[in-house]
Amino acid sequence: MTKADIINRISEEQGIDRKTVALVIECFMKCVKDTLGRGRSVFLRGFGTFSLKKRAAKKAQNIQKHTTICIPARKVPHFKPSASFLFHREEERL
């Protein structure tokens, strides 16, 4: 499902024009990005938590030049779904 699919579905189900739904979705994503950028987490009860995870520095191979490069440590976005978000049986996924 793409962002456009989500916008269309919400628009149809709630009777709100697509432009308004798109604006709300864009503002939500910007808010999550800004909050993570400040090093804080976003907790949505019944859905999950957006947070940052630390990735350790590591060495990798540059295959074309046959050299070893160092990839520095960094923080990456992570989503942990809440327990009520997870599917417990195959039938619930449909």
Q: Is 53 helix (H, G, I), strand (E, B) or coil?
A: strand
pTM value is: 0.74
Residue 22: domain span: 3-86
pLDDT tens by residue, 60-91: 998 888 899 999 999 999 999 988 877 665 55
Asked if the structure places residue 21 within a domain, the reply is: yes
Mean pLDDT computed over every residue of the chain:
90
Asked if the structure places residue 94 within a domain, the reply is: no
Number of domains, the chain: 1
Q: What is the spatial distance between Cα 53 and Cα 15, in angstroms, rounded to a whole number?
A: 38
Asked if the structure places residue 91 within a domain, the reply is: no
Asked if the structure places residue 53 within a domain, the reply is: yes
Q: What is the spatial distance between Cα 67 and Cα 53, in angstroms, rounded to a whole number?
A: 28
Asked if the structure places residue 93 within a domain, the reply is: no
Q: What is the spatial distance between Cα 4 and Cα 34, in angstroms, rounded to a whole number?
A: 22
Asked if the structure places residue 80 within a domain, the reply is: yes
Contact 17, 11 (CB under 8 A): yes
Taking Cα atoms as reference points, which of 52, 19, 48 lies closest to residue 34?
A: 52
